[in-house]
Amino acid sequence: MQKPFQEPKLPLPPPLMMSESGSFAHYTLTSRLPAIARRVIAENDFTPEIVNNLETLIQELADGSVRSLTDDNSPDLTSWNTYLEPFVGKRWLDIPWFFAEAYFFRRILEATHYFLPDSSQSVDPYAVQKYRGLETANDSIKAISAKINHSEKDTTSLIALFYFVLWGNRADLSLWPVDAVDSNYNSLENHPEQTHVLVDDTAVISDKIAKFDKVRIDFIVDNAGLELVSDLCLADYLLDTNAAKIVYLHLKPYPTFVSDATIKDVRSTLKILATDENREVQHLSLRLQDYINCNRLCLVDDLFWTSPLVFWEMPESLQQDLAQSSLIFVKGDANYRRCLGDRQWDFTTSFADITYYFPAPFVALRTLKSEIVAGLQPSQLESVSRQDPQWLTNGQWGVIQIGNWG
Ligand SMILES: O=P(O)(O)OC[C@H]1O[C@](O)(CO)[C@@H](O)[C@@H]1O
């Protein structure tokens, strides 16, 4: 395992744990993760042996302990077993929350023989959910495609795109399976008010982007479906205006957290959009495919993104690569948690102070789905908790927040 490159200079608070009854982390372990595993059984046609593996995993969450991984053919077996060393033999309940979630999703792949050379090799256990997620977002995709194909590429349209990209993160299949939400959930018109953006740095960000001339911009991507399409629209804007010469999309090397996007998901999304009956959607997709063909839009992955490590533990080679970027969009809740080390920061601690270690200027676009946030004003805390007691986890509140950008 590589050494951390740099840690935050501030003293580190303890990590979020799952042992605290009543916490969202505890609820995740006791209810959400077992439900995700059950859905994997229900939505796939796995062999009895695989079903049995998944049922054993469900049982283990409740009363078993953490063990090493055993799937020999996997590319990250050695690193995972190194990460696991301090935790082997402990109850799931007693390991840090982000670690446990990343481990759970890796165990799903072990259980389903994702890396083994048999008939289940490379089968995405969440494929049904991902496909249906894209289907239910079709109206929004049509609307955004028409807008992006025809509207003038000015600051107003850039700012509107930021909000679209932010609220695209609300649709997350690890929290809200596709059949548990009505299809309007993905609608463009159904976004919470701008007042639900707790930190809104869009004006500063769009000013800075207006001065970009053919720079490199990166996205640390989160979910497939509407969120991925919204990211692609923003990438399209940046490439079309020549603010960016090149855009890198950093994707997961294999399926995780149900809806997280892989390179294969980007390719299949573009294929599906290219054959949509709507011409605006087809045009958007073909333009994006052209950017890929001429290497202006690059799809890359790295095993770090599916590891249980937090962002200040990023391997040096990846940090050095990201350091070449003029701007990185860090998407979604889980990536935000990793930025903050998934630790119990006081909600008013400066976000930039915690994340100064990050290798390049970055902006977090994230709807809140876990009990962690930084950079809020004390007065905001009181008013938001009064208005909405579930504000930290119901995905109705968001941030468009600058990290360490000079
Ligand atoms: O797709 P996103 O925005 O990263 O959301 C996933 C997050 O939501 C949760 O499912 C909430 O616990 C976490 O597992 C994770 O932080």
Tell me the pLDDT tens digit for each residue of 111-134: 999 999 999 999 999 999 999 999
Q: Which atom of ligand 1 is nearest to the CA of 337?
A: 16
**Sheet with 297-301, edge to edge strand ranges:** 197-200, 398-402, 362-367, 327-331, 215-220, 244-251, 297-301
Q: Say how many Å lie between the CA of residue 172 and the centre of ligand 1.
A: 7
Query: Is 226 in contact with 344 (CB distance < 8 Å)?
Result: no
Q: Say how many Å lie between the CA of residue 334 and the centre of ligand 1.
A: 5
Give me the half-sphere count of Cα atoms (radius 13 Å) on the Cβ side of residue 103.
28
Q: What token pair was written down for 336? A: 């935000």
Q: Where in the chain is the domain with CATH 3.40.50.10880?
A: 128-402
Best of 174, 339, 392 for a ligand 1 pocket test (most atoms within 8 Å of beta carbon): 174
**Single-letter residue type at 51:** V
- What is the domain class of 24-126 according to CATH? mainly alpha
Q: Where in the chain is the domain with CATH 1.20.930.60?
A: 24-126
Best of 226, 333, 399 for a ligand 1 pocket test (most atoms within 8 Å of beta carbon): 333
Helix 127-136, helix 33-43: angle, nearest 10: 90
Nearest Cα residue to atom 15 of ligand 1: 334
Tell me the pLDDT tens digit for each residue of 190-236: 455 678 999 999 999 999 999 999 999 999 999 999 999 999 999 99
Determine the CATH number of domain 128-402. 3.40.50.10880
Best of 169, 172, 226 for a ligand 1 pocket test (most atoms within 8 Å of beta carbon): 172
Nearest Cα residue to atom 13 of ligand 1: 334
Q: What token pair was written down for 101? A: 């979630």
Residues with CB under 6 A from ligand 1: 28, 101, 169, 172, 174-175, 222-223, 257, 332-334, 337, 369-370
Full pLDDT tens readout for the chain, 406 residues = 444 457 788 899 999 999 988 999 999 999 999 999 999 999 999 999 999 999 999 999 988 999 999 998 899 999 999 999 999 999 999 999 999 999 999 999 999 999 999 999 999 999 999 999 999 999 999 999 999 999 899 999 999 999 999 999 987 655 556 555 544 444 444 455 678 999 999 999 999 999 999 999 999 999 999 999 999 999 999 999 999 999 999 999 999 999 999 999 999 999 999 999 999 999 999 999 999 999 999 999 999 999 999 999 999 999 999 999 999 999 999 999 999 999 999 999 999 999 999 999 999 999 999 999 999 999 999 999 999 999 999 999 999 999 977 6
Neighbours of 122 (CB within 10 A): 13
- The helix (H) or strand (E) run that includes residue 164 is helix 155-168
Q: Say how many Å lie between the CA of residue 152 and the centre of ligand 1.
A: 34
Q: Which atom of ligand 1 is nearest to the CA of 28?
A: 12
DSSP per position, 251-296: EBSS--TTTB-BHHHHHHHHHHHHT-S-HHHHHHHHHHHHHHHTTS
